Amino acid sequence: MAIPRAAKTLRRTRIQEEKEEQILEAALDVFSVSGFRGSTIDQIAEVAGMSKPNLLYYFRTKEAMHRALIDRVLYNWLEPLRAFDAEGNPESEIRSYIRRKLEMARDFPRESRLFANEMLQGAPHVLDMLKGPLKELVDEKAAVIRTWIKSGKITYCDPYHLIFSIWSTTQHYADFDVQVRAVLGEEHSGDGRFEDAARFLEQLFIGGLRPDRSGR
């Protein structure tokens, strides 16, 4: 007789690791496109290549699957912001933050869309995380940026909106990929657009944040 599913959390077999991995991979495919409400367990089961009851053996509900997926993806997603360092000089820190975020948009677009979907729906599953850990992390980095401003290394500006604008410009290339490709045309739909975007954004932010050159 199968053991109650709670026991799974005590010891995990090889098969469990593999299947859960497979399922979350498929779930990312589906949830990132259709959002939570728009996705079905059958869809995910099909992408994962297994039967629906089999999938439900590993995750008891659609909710549980979604939560596991978000938990798993969240840590890496915030990594670039955590790496944002007060010690480095502003120009190179901002430059590499932009680079890192653009790389994530290029290499992990599904993860970006998963969060975007969540945001559009009002963040029903991650609101606490936004108000707690994320806010704290951003507050911390905003303080760093303020020290840069006070020491005259970058021009005066609102650090929160600076962070928002880096998030939005970079994630745009994942979340609105289809629009970007449509506007740029087939011929610019290779990965080259990420290099072009990096060049533009670095120029924009470095130029836009340079300390006042003519008195303000």
Q: Contact positions toward a second copy, by CB under 8 A?
A: 32-39, 113, 116-117, 119-123, 127, 130-131, 134-135, 138, 155, 157-158, 160-162, 164-165, 167-169, 171-173, 175-180, 182-185, 196-197, 199-201, 203-210, 213
19 binds DNA (CB under 7 A): yes
Rounded CA-CA distance 116/121 in Å is 9
- Tell me which of 6, 9, 15, 185 binds DNA, using CB under 7 A: 15
Minimum CB distance to a second copy smaller for 48 or for 117: 117
Kindly state the smallest distance separating residue 91's Cβ from a second copy, in Å: 13
40 binds DNA (CB under 7 A): yes
- Tell me which of 56, 68, 129, 144 binds DNA, using CB under 7 A: 56
16 binds DNA (CB under 7 A): yes
Give one DSSP letter per residue of the chain, joined into a string. -PPPGGGGGTS--HHHHHHHHHHHHHHHHHHHHHHHHH--HHHHHHHHTS-HHHHHHHSSSHHHHHHHHHHHHHHHHHHHHHH--SSS-HHHHHHHHHHHHHHHHHH-HHHHHHHHHHHHTT-TTTHHHIIIIIHHHHHHHHHHHHHHHHTTSS----HHHHHHHHHHHHHHHHHTHHHHHHHH-GGG-STHHHHHHHHHHHHHHHHHHSPPSS--
- Tell me which of 52, 110, 125, 153 binds DNA, using CB under 7 A: 52
Q: Pick left, alpha or beta for residue 155 (phi over 0 → left; psi -120 to 50 → alpha; otherwise beta).
A: beta
Kindly state the smallest distance separating residue 65's Cβ from DNA, in Å: 8
50 binds, among a second copy, DNA, none (CB under 5 to 8 A by kind): DNA
Kindly state the smallest distance separating residue 37's Cβ from DNA, in Å: 8
Query: How many residues of this chain interact with DNA, rule: CB under 7 A?
Result: 27
76 binds, among a second copy, DNA, none (CB under 5 to 8 A by kind): none
Rounded CA-CA distance 98/124 in Å is 28
Write out the residues near DNA by the rule CB under 7 A.
1-3, 7-8, 11, 13-16, 19, 39-43, 50-54, 56-57, 60-63
